Amino acid sequence: MGSLSTKQQQQEILGRRMTEILEQMKSGRFEEAEQQLEACLEIDFEHVDVISALKYVKFWGPRAARLETITDVMERGEYLFREWVNFLNYLRSCDYRFEGGSYACRLWLFSSALASYQKALRNSAVPDPDVLFRMGRCLKATGDYERAAEFLESARQSRREDAEIIAELADCYAFLNETKAAKAFFREAFFINPLDVDINFIESELIVRLIERIRILGYSGNELKVWLPVYAVLYGVFNIKRELRPLEYGRLKQAIYSLETELREQRDEQRRALLVPELLNRYFWLIDHYIGSKDSRENVEEVLRKIKLLDESVYEQFTT
């Protein structure tokens, strides 16, 4: 009983210290946190949260120091965004992820980036949509979804067809439980240009689960992005449709013609690997348009034949 009591006391001490350490990490005091974590290892050198948190502060400590040397407010924000992507890649390589520790790092990073972009906004005579977009991204990452949506909507007013802005806005709506709006905006973003969407910053389960399923199929990088809207249709995620305006319908037909021509003439396999899912996604939009506008069944069947020739597996999944 005595040894058990000692173990319990040790865990209580560690629990109190970890609470303090997480607060230090949230405020960017990584050197202090590192010292405390080293002391925690002396109490329990196998504690997985302590070990993980120590790795995190050693990752961010030098980067926080580097941040202090950057004076340009926009560059400070961009630097933090780049390093966040590096951190996410690092986390994917870890067998265990300490959620409390990674969350503390997230709050410090995006709060710091937000402060930089707020300065940029104050220094600008006219609100810059780039700054508004980045502020929205930061607010979303810190959990302030309503304000994030406001800033992203403001950015979208100047850039109606910016896929990255629309995707971030969709992510906000997903967190606000506005699922229909989220699905509609995600579908729109990945139609405009999937390659412009930075999926490292998309965090709602709606898309994260889909990304993981596509990764399991063997796709990564740009291939994953262009296949995402295809599988989103096949798995029933992109099921909120809208009617195309006449100008959009004309542009869609022209885009399909251009992609079909390029696919016939293209010999580079890497380029072809991107063209196929891009064309499939546009075929899906064309079918939706024909059905929504009550066009002839013959037109729908013609597009279905094209899908079958392009990828029979996708055709089977789409039609069953």
Q: Is residue 178 part of a domain?
A: yes
Which of 99, 123, 147 is a domain's end point? 123
Per-residue confidence (pLDDT) for residue 6, from 0 to 100: 79
**Residue 63 sits in the same domain as residue 118:** yes
The gap between the terminal CA atoms of the chain, to the nearest Å, is 63
User: pTM (2 decimals)?
Assistant: 0.92
Q: How many other C-beta atoms can be found within 10 angstroms of the C-beta atom of residue 222? A: 13
Q: Is residue 198 part of a domain?
A: no
Q: Is residue 161 part of a domain?
A: yes
- Report residue 223: phi and psi, to 5°: -60, -40
Domain hosting 182: range is 129-186
**Residue 148 sits in the same domain as residue 179:** yes
d(CA 197, CA 206): 15
**Residue 159 sits in the same domain as residue 264:** no
Contact 174, 152 (CB under 8 A): no
Spatial CB neighbours of 56, under 8 Å, sequence gap ≥ 6: 25, 98, 101, 102, 104, 105
Mean pLDDT of the chain: 96
Average pLDDT on 70-87 reads 98
Contact 116, 74 (CB under 8 A): yes
**Residue 109 sits in the same domain as residue 170:** no
Q: Is residue 284 part of a domain?
A: yes
Q: Is residue 212 part of a domain?
A: yes
Domain total for the chain? 3
**Residue 301 sits in the same domain as residue 318:** yes
**Residue 219 sits in the same domain as residue 319:** yes
pLDDT digits (tens, 9 = 90+) for 80-107: 999 999 999 999 999 999 999 999 999 9
Per-residue confidence (pLDDT) for residue 1, from 0 to 100: 44
Structure tokens at 92: 């994917």
Q: Which CATH number covers residue 154?
A: 1.25.40.10
pLDDT digits (tens, 9 = 90+) for 141-171: 999 999 999 999 999 999 999 999 999 999 9
Q: Is residue 195 part of a domain?
A: no
Give the type of residue at 222. Answer: N
Q: Is residue 224 part of a domain?
A: yes
Residues in the chain: 320
